[in-house]
Structure 1
Amino acid sequence: MTLDVTPAARALPQTADNRLLAAAGDGTRVALRGIVKDYGPTRVLHGVDLDIAPGEFVSLLGPSGCGKTTALRVISGLEDATAGTVSFGGTDVSRTPTNKRDIGMVFQAYSLFPHLRVRDNVAFGLRQRRVDARAARRRAGEALELVGLDHLADRYPHQLSGGQQQRVALARALVTEPRVLLLDEPLSALDAKVRVQLRDEIRRIQLRLGTTTIFVTHDQEEALAVSDRIAVMDAGRIEQIGSPEELYLRPATPRVAAFIGLSSSVPGVAAGGTATVWGTDVPLQSDVPDGEVDVLLRPEHVHLVGAGSGVGAVVEESMFLGSIRRSLVRTDDGSLVRLQHAPDERLQFGERVRIAVRPVPVVATPRQTR
C-alpha cells in the first residue's frame, strides 16, 4: 500500500524553549500483517493488515465489540496475537514486551498516582528508566508546558479537573519521547466541550512532535476531526481505510456509509449505473445489479422543493443547529429521511412538505425483502 503523507505537513518548529520539541523525531512506521486474535473459541480479529506511515495519525473507528481496542492492545504488547506480526520501523516486535516497545499510552481512565504531585506523575516513567532526578524534573516540566499545565506542576490529581487530569496523562505518555503514541478512547469520560478542546490539543501536539499516533474511538466526529486516515472496523475486520474525506464522500460499503455520518435509507430503482430516487436520477458509487435498491442519502443530499416535484413528506422533528437546521421527515412511502437546510426555513411538527434528492453520487445495495 502506498501512503501519501506530505513531509511539509510534519515540519517541526525550530525552538530552544522546549527541548522535547527540539528533539522530536519524524515518527516510526507501524505495520500489522495478518493479525489474528482468538479468545478461546471466539475469534475477535480476522487477519488485520494495516500500514501506518511515520508521523501519521490513524484512528481505529467502529462500534463497541468491533475489535479496535483489541488491535491496539496487540500493537502495545498488552495482548499477544494468535497469528501475524507487528513491526515498528521494519523491526518485528511481536514478541517484544510492552516496556521494551518504546510506546506511550493514554487510556480512558487517567490512572494517575493520587499521592504524587503532577510533576512527579509525569516524571514517573523517566524515573523507571533511571533518568537522573534533575533531568527528569526538567523533562517533566517541558512535557507539562507542551500540554499547557506547567503552572499546575505542584498540585495533586484530586485538585485538577477531568480534562486537566487527562492532559497530565498525555504529558506522562509524551515525556519519554516514545516512537509510537497509543490513545484508547482517552476523551470518552469528559464532557462535550472539554472533549473538543482536548481533541484539538492532542492533534496540535501530535503535528508539532510528528509522533506516529494510533487513536481508538467510537465517535465518528472525533475521528473525522483529527485523523490523517481512519480505519473503519466491523466484526474484527477493517472495512475501509482512507482519509476522512474519502470515507465520507466515497464509502466502500454500505456499512461504512451508515457508520460515517448520518444516512437515511430510501427505496430507488437502479439501471445502468444510476438510481432513480423520487423521480431524480443519481449516479451510483459502485456496481449494483439493475432493479430495486436501497439508497443511502446524507442530510445534505436532500433538499426542500416546491409543489409538483420530489416526494411528499410529513415533518417529524426539526432542530436548529446555528448555521443550519436539520429536520426529520417521513415520506409518503414510509421512509424516515434527514435533511439539512437553511436555518430560516422553519418547519413545524406535522407540516406537509416536499423533498427531492440532489444529483450527487450515492451508495446503494440490492433491496432486501421486508
Structure 2
Amino acid sequence: MALQELKVNKLRTFLSLFGITIGIFCIISVLATVGSLENKIQDDVQSLGSNSIYIDKWEYLNDSNYPWWKFVNRPVPKYNEVAFIKAKSTLAEYTSYVNSITTKVLYNDNELSNTPIYGVSEDFNKIQKIEIAYGRYMTDAEFLRGTPSIVIGFENAELLFGEAARAVGKEISVDKKKLRIAGVIAKQGQSLGGSPYDYDHCLIYSYRLFASCYNANATYLDPYIIVKAKSDVPSTALSDELRGVMRQLRKLKPKEEDNFALNDINMFSEQVSGFFGTVNIGGWAIAGLSLIVGAFGVANIMFVTVRERTSQIGLKKAVGAKSNIILTEFLLESAFLCILGGVFGLLLVWVLTIIASAIFPFAITIAPGIVVLAFTICIVLGVLAGIIPASIAARMNPVEAIRSK
C-alpha cells in the first residue's frame, strides 16, 4: 500500500519525505565528516608519541597567566639530561632528545630549500611512528659514532632522485657536508593535528652527527625531550615522576618554581574529543529541526491516507480485522516512508563523501554504526509520526467507515 501511495501521489509523497531526507543527510554528513576529521587529528596527535610527555621550556597548552618572558628565560633541555632521566625514572620506557633546524639540501643540480633536519637520539623511532619504505633506519653504531648516515622523507627523495627507491645509498650535500642516505621514510601525508614533524620533507640525523654540523645549544633552537611511559603506566603518573626527576636534575629548591614544562600528549587528545563533541551537538541541533519538519510532513500524509482509505478500513474491520492489525498496518507504512526518506539521505551523503574525500586531505568514511543510527532514527520517527493517524484508523466504527464514502 505504501508503494501504491508513492505511485499514485508522487509529488505529495516526495514533498513529505523531503524533510526526512534532508534531516538524515544533515545528521549523517555531520557525523561522518566530523568523525573522520577527528580520527585523522587523533591519529596525528598520537603520532607525536602515544602516552608520552614532552619536556620543554614551553607549555603547549598555556591557559595560565604565566608571563611569556619567564618561558623565554627558562633553560632549554640538554642532550646529557636524557641519560639522567633514564637512570632516575622507573616509569619511562623510552627517552629521546630532539633538536631541529631548517636548511638547504643539494644533489647535483637539484636544490631543496627550508628542509627540516631533526637531530635525534637512539629511542626516537621507538616513540614515533617511523616506517621505512626503502633501505633501513640508522643503526646503534651510527648513533654512537655520529657517522654521516641519514634517513630522508619520501617526497624529498622523489624531488631529488625522481623515484624514492633510488635515494638509498646516494650522497647529498647539506651545508657543505656529504651525507649518505640509509633509508627513505614511508609517505605520511598531510598532518592536521599540529604535529611538529614533517616526515615527508625532512632529514633525520643522529644527535652526534647533528651536533658535529650545528651548534646544538644555540639560543635560536628549541630542543626538547620526549619520554614515553611503560605500557601499563598512565601518563599522569609519569608526569608526576618526571617533575621530581627534573627538579632534582635542575637542582631546584623546594620553594622555587619549575623552570621546565611537562606537556602531556593525552591532554591534546582530550581537548580534541571535547571540541568535536561540541561540534556534533551543533550538527544534531540543526538536523533535529529538519527531522521535526519531516516528521510533521509524514504525519500529514498519514492523516490524508487514513481519510482516503476510510471505507477500506471499515471493510477490513467488517470481515474480522482487529484494531491492532489496522494500527500495525499504518505504523509500518509510516515507518516505511521514513526509511525510504532515510535511504535517499544516505545516498546523498555517499555522493558527498566521494566528492569531499577527493578535495580534503583525509578520507571521509561512513561508519556502520552511523548507518544503523540513521535507520533507527527513521523507524522511530515513522512510528511517532504515524501513531496518531494509525490510532484514529484503529478506533473507527466499521459501519460508519463503510458508509463514509
TM-score for the superposition, normalised by structure 1: 0.25
- Answer 1 or 2: higher relative contact order, Cα 8 Å, separation at least 6: 2
Which structure: larger Rg? Answer: 2
Q: Which has the higher helix share?
A: 2
Q: Which has the higher strand share?
A: 1
